[in-house]
Structure 1
Amino acid sequence: MKYNTKQDTKIERFYENRDSLIIRLRKGEITKREYILLSHAFIVSSKSAPFETIDCVEKGMYNYQYYNTMAKYYKTLALDERGKEKHNNFHKTYLKECNYFYDEKDKTTFRLLRHMNYENIEAYFIEMESEKLKNVLYEVVLKEYKFAVLHSKSVWILNALKKQEVFSEETRKSVIDYYVNDLY
């Protein structure tokens, strides 16, 4: 892809940062928590915002990653506050933010899948160490794009994937198992 516009440059910088962090994470140079914090710091420092319209896969993935990063960042903050009695309001506030961003991520996932006409994707439940996530968390792989892996627990997206006959009932190991089964 040739980057000519300000939006294209925003996408290019975002992907360069993301790919670099993924490589560092896979090599063990940073932890999952550091990956989340560094991804969030990049979004904040670049004053990035999601695209209003998803008219290409790159914008859809950008929005997905934006919302996923924000959700995980607030989940990290909520986990830090959990159990601190006098800070219980912070815990609840962070969880509310986390859930808002996960909802936006799911809406983005749905828009992206519709944009792609549900073509060249694989979707399936993933093997999880967490009992709460077994047969709940599933993976959607965009087969033609490097590092294009989506995750969701959304029942309505799952139903759409099944309706489009692109969801496999078999449980598989995640293509990013090193990440999804790592605690933060």
Structure 2
Amino acid sequence: MIYHGKKGLFETFFDNRSSLILQLQNGDISKREFLESNYDFVTRMNVKPFIRVDSYEKGMYNYQYYNVLAKYFRMMAMELRNSKKHQKYYIEYLNKGYKYYHEKDRSALDVLKIIDFKGVEAYFVKCESRNLKDKLYEIVLLDYKEAIFHSKATWLLEILQKEGVFFEGRRKSLIDEYINETY
């Protein structure tokens, strides 16, 4: 594990994440560089997701861990999409991405249960991508810094609706530039 000075796992992880978010917002790094840096950091930390999620921090760590891996492997798959030579890797990376997206959604639900769905708003977001239109929704944890989840999972959407935290209509994402930027 890599820890900076006397910082613990969560502080190290979330400080790095905040730093990368700031660099991305300032235009210092591209979305691709953001994803690659997140992936490199997570693999260097060598801390696997928590099996028992009994705190907000553990749930957020798991969400971010799986989100990083999902996006990284999806990005790698898209690079190989039209390559007949590497079709096997395309399928492998795509399947890994789907698996990690599912785990990410399960982790989001863990966090939502921990906070008892309090201070949560969810809604569909306006997307430039036709593939994401009316599928991608945003879950905002209003009482926490940089706590925004995204998902397309219908099973999670149904839970959000049942809990009364999903609002109809489409809104601009709080991180609109990020979700609409290609990588």
Residue 56 of structure 1: CA displacement? 1.7
- The aligned counterpart of 2:20 is 21
More helix by share: 1
Q: Which runs of 5+ in 1 are unaligned?
A: 1-5
Matches of 2:109 and 2:147 in 1, distance apart?
15
Q: Which amino acid aligns with 2:107?
A: T
- What is residue 52 of structure 2 aligned with on the other side? 53
- How many equivalent residue pairs? 178
Partner of 1:120: 119
Q: Which residue of 2 aligns with 1:145?
A: 144
* Whole-angstrom distance in 2 between the partners of 1:54 and 1:174: 28
Kindly report which structure 2 residues correspond to 1:14-163, keeping only aligned pairs within 5 A, or say none.
14-163=13-162
Q: What is the aligned-residue RMSD (CA, Å)? A: 1.2
Separation of aligned partners in 1, 2:109 and 2:66:
13
CA displacement, residues 116-151 of structure 1 (integer Å, 9 cap, x when unaligned): 111111100000001111110000001111110000
- Equivalent in the alignment of 1:11: 10
Tell me, in whole angstroms, the C-alpha distance in 2 between the residues paired with 1:16 and 1:104: 23
Within 2, Cα distance between the matches of 1:51 and 1:181?
30
Q: In the alignment, which residue of structure 2 is the partner of 1:164?
A: 163
The amino acid across from 2:55 in the alignment is C
1:115 alignment partner AA: I
4+ residue runs over 6 A deviation? none
**Under a length normalisation based on structure 1, what TM-score does the superposition of the two structures give?**
0.94
Q: Secondary structure at 1:49's aligned position in 2? A: coil
1 CA distance for matches of 2:61 and 2:89?
28
Deviation at 1:57, TM superposition (A): 1.4
Residue identity in the other structure for 2:167: S
Paired-residue identity, % = 43
Using the alignment, how far apart are the partners of 1:162 and 1:152 within structure 2?
14
Query: Could you list the per-position Cα deviations for residues 7-49 of structure 1 after superposition, in whole angstroms to 9, with x for gaps in the alignment?
Result: x811110001000000000000000010000000001111121
Aligned-partner residue type, residue 10 of structure 1: L
What is the Cα deviation at residue 60 of structure 1?
1.0
Deviation at 1:176, TM superposition (A): 0.6
SS in 2 for 1:141: strand
**In the aligned structure 2, how far is the partner of 1:53 from the partner of 1:32?**
31
Alpha-carbon distance between aligned partners in 2 of 1:31 and 1:78, rounded to the nearest angstrom: 19
| Counterpart secondary structure, 2:8 | helix
Q: CA deviation at 1:58?
A: 1.6
Secondary structure of the equivalent of 1:94?
helix
